[in-house]
C-alpha cells in the first residue's frame, strides 16, 4: 500500500492564481481531511469528508474548496491565492472518526508570492 499520497510536493504561486492540491489514499478509508500547518501553530483543519459525496468545513475553510467524488480522492482547490495561504498542507485519512488513527500524507509546501 502506498498509503496517502499528495502531489505536488512543492509549488510557488503568484497572488491571484488558482491550483488544486491532489490527495489519494489506497486504504479504502471513508474519512479524509485537509490540514494546514504554519510554524508554531500546529495543524488546523480546513475541510473534511466522511464519505464520497459528503464534505464539511473545518476550522479554517475560507479561500478553499473541496470535492469528494470517489472514496480514494480528496482534492483541495485554492481559488485566487493569497500570501496568507503560504503554508504546508497535509491530507489525512482514517477508517472512521472518534478513536481511529489518522494516516497522513507527506505534505505539499505552498508559497504564494
Partner 1 sequence: AQSVTQLGSHVSVSEGALVLLRCNYSSSVPPYLFWYVQYPNQGLQLLLKYTTGATLVKGINGFEAEFKKSETSFHLTKPSAHMSDAAEYFCAVSEGYGGSQGNLIFGKGTKLSVKP
Of the candidates 11, 32, 10, the residue with the CA atom closest to the CA atom of residue 92: 32
Taking the complex as a whole, the smallest distance from the CB of residue 36 to partner 1 amounts, in Å, to: 11
Taking the complex as a whole, the smallest distance from the CB of residue 54 to partner 1 amounts, in Å, to: 8
Nearby residues of 60 by Cβ (< 8 Å), 6 or more positions away: 36, 44, 45, 46
Interstrand relation of 54-57 and 64-66 (parallel, antiparallel or unpaired): unpaired
Taking the complex as a whole, the smallest distance from the CB of residue 16 to partner 1 amounts, in Å, to: 29
Nearest CB to partner 1, comparing residues 14 and 39: 39
Nearest CB to partner 1, comparing residues 100 and 111: 100
Phi (first) and psi of residue 80, to 5 degrees: 55, 65
Nearest CB to partner 1, comparing residues 16 and 97: 97
Residues near partner 1 (CB under 8 A) are 4, 31, 33, 40-45, 48, 50, 56, 58, 90, 92, 94, 96-102, 104-107
C-alpha grid cell, residue 81: 491565492
Amino acid at each position: 500500500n502506498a498509503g496517502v499520497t499528495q502531489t505536488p510536493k512543492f509549488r510557488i504561486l503568484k497572488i491571484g492564481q488558482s491550483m488544486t492540491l491532489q490527495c489519494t489514499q489506497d486504504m479504502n478509508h471513508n474519512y479524509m481531511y485537509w490540514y494546514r500547518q504554519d510554524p508554531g501553530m500546529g495543524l488546523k483543519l480546513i475541510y473534511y469528508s466522511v464519505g464520497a459525496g459528503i464534505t464539511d468545513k473545518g476550522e479554517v475553510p475560507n479561500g478553499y474548496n473541496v470535492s469528494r467524488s470517489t472514496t480514494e480522492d480528496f482534492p483541495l482547490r485554492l481559488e485566487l491565492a493569497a500570501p496568507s495561504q503560504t503554508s504546508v498542507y497535509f491530507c489525512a485519512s482514517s477508517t472512521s472518526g472518534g478513536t481511529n488513527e489518522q494516516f497522513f500524507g507527506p505534505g505539499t509546501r505552498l508559497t504564494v508570492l
